[in-house]
Amino acid sequence: MSDEFSRIERYFAPLAGVEGLGLKDDAAVLQPPPGREIVLTVDQMIEDVHFLAHDAPDFIARKLLRRNLSDLAAMGAQPLGYLLTTALPQSVSDEWLRLFAKGLQADQQEFGCKLFGGDSSSSRNAISLTATFIGHVAPGTALRRDGARPGDEIWVTGTIGDAALGLRARRGLLQDVSQFLTLRSLLPTPRLGLPLANIANAAIDISDGLLQDLGHICRASGVDAMISSQLVPVSKQVAIFGDTMLQARLTEGDDYELLLAVPPEKADALIAACAKLQITKIGAFKSGTGQVEVQDAAGKILQFSKPGWTHF
Amino acid sequence: MSDEFSRIERYFAPLAGVEGLGLKDDAAVLQPPPGREIVLTVDQMIEDVHFLAHDAPDFIARKLLRRNLSDLAAMGAQPLGYLLTTALPQSVSDEWLRLFAKGLQADQQEFGCKLFGGDSSSSRNAISLTATFIGHVAPGTALRRDGARPGDEIWVTGTIGDAALGLRARRGLLQDVSQFLTLRSLLPTPRLGLPLANIANAAIDISDGLLQDLGHICRASGVDAMISSQLVPVSKQVAIFGDTMLQARLTEGDDYELLLAVPPEKADALIAACAKLQITKIGAFKSGTGQVEVQDAAGKILQFSKPGWTHF
């Protein structure tokens, strides 16, 4: 691999916005958009934890950006740009880096953001990547996890469980002829740009698992949630597996769909705001202490061994 | 080790500013200080690259913050707060985390900043830590690397080479009875708060090595630099070793002192601005193409095998 400074110049400097000062400085400098609040989020991807060494570098890059963009979407924020850190073992080739940078470039264009700066380091073993995103939002309108109220309905965008099954397909555990599930796992779509500020009382993106992320809203808001397993929307590729994959799709996450708390009188406004997107009511919040209940079609409460992904 | 969410609640939530929303959300939200530009910087510390597994966790935490704070200092910026990512192997104990958080707390207090958010992950092997700092600066006054002009003098704060020898002391390769060198290596002092905006034309902090960091200014500014090895200020603990350690102190970095380009007519203002700090003129910039020359006391040009630290 070429040395640190040539790598920055060759692969990363072309991705930089003016705020990045050509990636020649210690930091980025930016004028905050007038009258807006700044939103900051950070996510990392570690080899053998979040991706596999043989995954395509451009897909790794794009998922790193999209995981962060999804966090901005969950706050109702728009992206400005990002800082990137890489810690790479010496075995990583220049070709890997070229493809990685190509992936960054593709998603910078798709989502309208630039590279503002970063840090590069060597690593003894695993590839370790971190992106810090800077976004902005109208003052006081950031969506939070703690705003759900008893009586609010629970809505989700898109379909749930595609990524859980896509991961199995990538591991050769199930067939995915159309590659739909595989792509949903490799290249999730952050639900940016939905005008949810005066509609949703709370929001989160589904990264850890539907039940766990719903639990985060419940605990932050001090309410309980009741959802119906039969209402959780699935793609036709997931529907084939029926209830055999119910636990996987409710607990494994990685879908990066939005989970929203919406007062019943705002339901029509929600549907209008998500005009181009599937949006489905799956249950409601009620008074409580942070619990999540799942009912099957017969109204029976289902139990799951764990609600979602946690690091240890 | 306890699970991810209890760790965040127990060790990190008490460190959070209001901007961090209790560390319960996907992102931090902050109102930029009115009329200021935002400065963003990120630095990582990887086990076996930037620190050793048996280093004290509170010192690892503090150095992580100080390396970033030094980047803000080099831009002339003041800190607001930071995002933290941790990737930890399962072998890391709760006691390690308690001490790590204690170190963060100590430096948050010392430097006036708060935790705004972050991300935690597991890791298969090494501990990997990243801090992204948010600072602010008066519009247009951020110090850059590209502003050095022929005729500017080259000044450095503090003393150079302490950290290089301190690292040897930590490895048992030299005696350090007073622990001065060891502490300079473990706990550098970011040179924040110096009013350099109308004094310095360019600035960088010495992290990679004096010669390499001076080279960064030269290449960014399109000038050459000439310094005298005998003028580079050393502590009495380093002076003992005389010129046997000259290469180490000029090329190993980790001192986090500031290296400044200052027009001669601003020298008095510089000395006044750095009233409480040692500040030393070590050379001057001249027309050129990005080269750095080092002269000894007799005016002979010295050659070094490499100018400083680079990852590969």
d(CA B72, CA B200): 15
Task: Assess contact for A239 and A155: CB atoms under 8 A.
Answer: no
Distance (Å, whole) CA B260 – CA B15: 34
A147/chain B closest Cα distance in angstroms: 11
User: 3-state SS of B140-178?
Assistant: CCCCCCCCCCCCCEEEEECCCCHHHHHHHHHCCCCCCCC
Confidence of residue B311 (pLDDT cuts 50, 70, 90): low
For the residues B298-309, what does the mean pLDDT come to?
82
- Does the pLDDT at position B312 exceed 60? no
Q: How big is the A-B interface in CB pairs under 8 Å?
A: 225
- B26 and A120 in contact by Cβ < 8 A? no
Quote the tokens at residue B3: 């699970």
Inter-chain touch A27–B118, beta carbons under 8 Å: no
Which H or E run contains A122? strand A114-122
- Return the bridge partners of B51, or none: B47
DSSP 8-state code for residue B31: P
At A267-306, the pLDDT tens digits run: 999 999 999 899 999 999 999 999 999 999 898 999 887 7
Q: Give the C-alpha separation, A255 to B99, whole Å.
A: 36
pLDDT digits (tens, 9 = 90+) for B21-53: 777 777 899 888 888 999 999 999 999 888 988
List the one residue out of B119, B140, B112 whose CA is nearest residue B27. Answer: B119
Residue B71 pLDDT > 90 = yes
- In this structure, are residues A261 and A201 in contact, taking their beta carbons and an 8 Å threshold? yes
What one-character DSSP code corresponds to residue B9? I
Contact B42 A119 (CB under 8 A): yes
Query: Residue B310: which of A3, A41, A312 has the nearest Cβ?
Result: A3
Residue B19 pLDDT level (bands cut at 50, 70, 90): confident
* Lowest pLDDT segment from A65-69, A270-274, B18-22, B281-285: B18-22
Instruction: Give the alpha-carbon dihedral of B263, B267, B268, B272, to 10 degrees.
Output: 110
- What is the arithmetic mean of pLDDT over A11-32? 82
Q: Where are the beta strands (DSSP E) in B89-233?
A: 114-122, 128-137, 153-157, 202-205, 223-228
Minimum CA–CA partner of B258 in chain A:
A26
Confidence of residue A20 (pLDDT cuts 50, 70, 90): confident
Length, in residues, of chain A: 312
| Tokens 């007799």, located at residue | B298
List residues bridging with B37 in a β-sheet.
B137
Q: Place B285 in a pLDDT band, splitting at 50, 70 and 90.
A: very high
Confidence of residue B309 (pLDDT cuts 50, 70, 90): low
Residues of A within 8 A of B30 (CB-CB) are 37-38, 40
Confidence of residue A243 (pLDDT cuts 50, 70, 90): confident
Which residues does B22 contact at the CB level (< 8 Å), separation at least 6? A220, B13, B16
Alpha carbon distance B136, B37 (integer Å): 5
From A24, A29, A137, residue closest to B146, measured CB to CB: A24
pTM, rounded to two decimals: 0.91
Which is it for the CA torsion B104, A46, A22, B208, positive or negative? positive
